[in-house]
Structure 1
């Protein structure tokens, strides 16, 4: 009897496909190559269950997987071959690491007999990615595949989500064996906090005591609230206690923008009244954000009068950058529920009068500083200012629910965060920690495939757009119709130019940027392209893009030297803000 007579016999590559299906994967983003070819050969048999999106660059594949994950909360999957295919995935892997995005990257590797010989397209990708993955695996024994895939997805989605890499030798993909699907995971050192983790009652009691006694409390809400599906609990606690809420860049949408307790975004480009409130508060409840330097400014001066309560699923973040008085390692949802319950039981101790006075004082600061004043039109500027575009987008979004916005990195990213009205979680997708130019277009593609009923608006600068514009071809090949691209085109990497203007005497070294006619570039891919250079034409262009049954690229040619304000200069406290040119 031949080996093929056993119906349970599989190649390693077939086992990889079946393992993905067992983990609930239905879409993957990648590019084939020599050492991952057996996997692609097997993939053809599973094409009714596994959709493969052929990207134009592995970086685009990784960002697309990130966008898919950010839109769904599920693990995104990207694929590359050995050598340059694998190394091209490093940027999205690092991006996922910084932003806590669940990602599994699968790479082919040279046959095990050639490992360590500097064979053609051999790269030690597991060694390279140690600092930017939660864990990685090199598989040369096909018997390990079922366990490794199970462990990889478990690690990627549990605790603080993040990227995991599986590197598989070509001979392991070609080997034939009967897979053991009942194999147990073997992760003796991995004990992540979860929604089911026990919350220490003493920590809850101390957090409640501080909040009840506070006269000027604040809640700082971040990505962990959205990742932990705790937005309802956050809002309930804020309303129950009257504590105002600050939302970080990655926390936008955790509280509706128009809620009376929502203050806005803090940090380097946060609003003046928000940063001043942080510097005046006496208790700061941090829910699911890691005190990034873009939030804190000079960390030693951050919230100098506050007792800090920090809830985070990652124990390593507590006390890492800002002194913490009460640290709680847990998913956000059960802690917010426990705090709300305890405060309700002891509500007589809540300082209702002083809370009202505190909120009134913040409102007075907001009215005084008029956060959008920096975007008032000035003489001798171009007919189209960046804020004209965002005003038009807001007007179009206001009465619709069928949209998400994916932003790139730079000035446009900050304008979008400041000026668009964020009301729902997972409607704002951006590269925060790594700050990856080129993120937005492929990430929006992944999100568009994950959520075909909503329109994905890409907000991108002309610099970032040119980094991954090749993925327009992928969008066209996949027949997507729900990606609309707004290029904020100012002829510079705008944020770099702004720093050069403000701090380097307008020495615009290496920043004047040319590019193609973006509308014609879109047309070349069979995608509708438009060019807008007047504020009067912006609303009609956005309406036309939304009405068009297909993808659209709009080239908004805006004022070249518009700046993002407010701004905290590097190394300064967040209370030291530049508010006008």
Structure 2
């Protein structure tokens, strides 16, 4: 079959399927793109000609379209995603941030950036990076360190192995992330005689590896001997559809379950075994149990510094770890017993190996009392305490949580809200909480929410609402995918929290003695950025991008606005101002952010003294 390289790529991608537990689905829902001279005549022409096979979606920013693909992949449990194409130059380098996010979060995304001419007819061409050391370098080499697989297709003959290699990594739960195929613009338009077999339907089976027997025996023995075990449920629990197995193990053994950001929703918030969020953004209940735990069973977690409180949280001198993870890299962390397996199969095997084993009744009761105490705190935070004229962010979260149905979804990524959401949001569904915290990328929220909603529309319940919570700082970084949502007729409910600056980093700045320097949106005066508030109107901006907008001033206003937004048929943004200086209740847990060792500022010296004391709590876990 004689096709161009661009046409062959589109035909191939349209024929790829994933299958898990007998359920088959298209792996690529479509292709996002922004065209330039590097891809318009190749992939652009191919997507026009074969758009019925692989639908094209126009994005407004290359970074954002990768976020949208990542959001869709996460909501689809990594069984489906999008391809993303850009031109060479700024379009390609714009995708680097999105690629890093996808790889850090272990989410499959295929990047197809255009590249300079393979034949080098007239170097340098427009947007070409000239490197005096090698003519084979382009800006696409920036994508190598943030990609799990990277290749440059300099000849049509190389395409077959490149495509198969890309699919191998995209569909491997232990290795997946961003995959980049750099495509020189002349090669994209070049024709070649392809074998018909390349375009036949191909099914990539997502396997469920079982634990090795000796490792299973060691892990079960360690858990059975523990007096104060704790389960840490990570994102792998949800990706593997292992939440029912987790529930069964927790109910049978009585081991309490704490959740990472990616694992939140592994158990319903009101389940007797649930003790809520863990770590720097965790609850007093989960963290109190973590400090005393003698054995920690980590399920599908990569143990980020927020989960471990920079390795200070798991404080028992003899604490041991059992790490159930499909990736050996994560299973070996903290010198734990590596149980390399699919989370569903691993939990089933552990449950069978533990038999009728149960923790002491007193330990069950302690965990439940700690969780109940925290839930009463959340009730008070949702109700507000009237400390100022503006609502608190906790009250806003409570209003959105109460407006959301049991299967609706909240999306967030950066700033102070992820921490407060992790502690306060009450998840009843494994897919109801979608906070990107592996990269904590400002600007992800609206673009990622679009990807989540596109996945919802493909699901068995397309009526699920997607609530995007975004602060003014993140909104100003990347709001333009509101236009894409409007163009595609995809409804989002966006709650824009305006606090005139970077609330999270402002608080951190204050804690390290830097007095919230450079974190507030103010006009410049003779003494710095300390003048009046900037005269920005983000609600008007959203309206100019095509979103319906509602302004709320009080929490009662917000509740009414959310009801109207739920009833709306189009993307709607609700704008509300909050007080950035009123934090949500939580747990004082250390996070390692080094403080200036010497300073003339007294707040900095005090912060350094506190830092020196706190870092003595760090553990080695050897």
TM-score (norm: length of structure 2): 0.84
Structure 1 residue 549: Cα displacement: 1.4
Which one is further off, 493-502 or 284-293?
493-502
Corresponding position: 1:32 with 2:32: no
Which one is further off, 512-521 or 60-69?
512-521
Which one is further off, 91-100 or 145-154?
145-154
Contact 2:310–2:590 (CA under 8 A) maintained in structure 1: no
Structure 1: gaps spanning 5 or more residues: 1-7, 185-191, 577-581
Contact 1:146–1:179 (CA under 8 A) maintained in structure 2: no
Structure 1 residue 68: Cα displacement: 1.4
Which one is further off, 514-523 or 113-122?
113-122
- What does residue range 60-459 of structure 1 map to in structure 2 within 5 Å? 60-73=64-77, 74-114=80-120, 118-123=124-129, 124-160=138-174, 161-180=176-195, 182=197, 195-299=207-311, 302-304=314-316, 305-320=318-333, 322-324=334-336, 326-344=337-355, 347=356, 350-352=357-359, 354=360, 356-366=361-371, 371-372=377-378, 377-378=384-385, 380-398=387-405, 400-401=406-407, 403-452=408-457, 453=462, 454-459=464-469
Instruction: Specify the alignment match of 1:516 in structure 2.
Output: 536
Instruction: Specify the alignment match of 1:493 in structure 2.
Output: 502
In 1: Cα distance, 2:50 partner to 2:381 partner: 55
In 1: Cα distance, 2:555 partner to 2:29 partner: 42
Structure 1 residue 520: Cα displacement: 1.7
Relative to structure 1, is the Cα distance of residues 515 and 117 closer, same or farther in structure 2, using a 3 angstrom cutoff?
Answer: farther
Structure 1 residue 359: Cα displacement: 2.2
Relative to structure 1, is the Cα distance of residues 359 and 106 closer, same or farther in structure 2, using a 3 angstrom cutoff?
Answer: same
SS for the counterpart of 1:559 is coil
Which one is further off, 537-546 or 296-305?
296-305
What root-mean-square deviation, in Å, do the aligned CA atoms of Structure 1 and Structure 2 show?
2.6
Instruction: Specify the alignment match of 1:19 in structure 2.
Output: 12
Contact 1:518–1:553 (CA under 8 A) maintained in structure 2: no
Contact 2:324–2:340 (CA under 8 A) maintained in structure 1: yes
In 1: Cα distance, 2:616 partner to 2:275 partner: 16
In 2: Cα distance, 1:392 partner to 1:366 partner: 21
In 2: Cα distance, 1:20 partner to 1:97 partner: 20
Instruction: Specify the alignment match of 1:189 in structure 2.
Output: none
SS for the counterpart of 2:39 is helix
In 2: Cα distance, 1:139 partner to 1:115 partner: 17
Structure 1 residue 378: Cα displacement: 4.6
Structure 1 residue 574: Cα displacement: 11
Structure 1 residue 365: Cα displacement: 3.9
In 2: Cα distance, 1:82 partner to 1:20 partner: 21
Structure 1 residue 307: Cα displacement: 1.7
Residue 61 (structure 2) aligned to one of 57, 60, 66: 57
Relative to structure 1, is the Cα distance of residues 183 and 45 closer, same or farther in structure 2, using a 3 angstrom cutoff?
Answer: closer
Contact 1:404–1:426 (CA under 8 A) maintained in structure 2: yes
Structure 1 residue 277: Cα displacement: 0.4
Structure 2: gaps spanning 5 or more residues: 17-25, 130-137, 523-533, 593-610, 618-622
In 2: Cα distance, 1:368 partner to 1:391 partner: 17
SS for the counterpart of 2:400 is helix
Which one is further off, 376-385 or 329-338?
376-385
TM-score (norm: length of structure 1): 0.89
Instruction: Specify the alignment match of 1:546 in structure 2.
Output: 566
Deviation digits for residues 352-407 of structure 1, max 9, x if unmatched? 4x1x2112223344456664367774555124221222222222224x43x22111
Contact 1:61–1:79 (CA under 8 A) maintained in structure 2: no
SS for the counterpart of 2:414 is coil
Structure 1 residue 297: Cα displacement: 1.5
Structure 1 residue 417: Cα displacement: 2.3
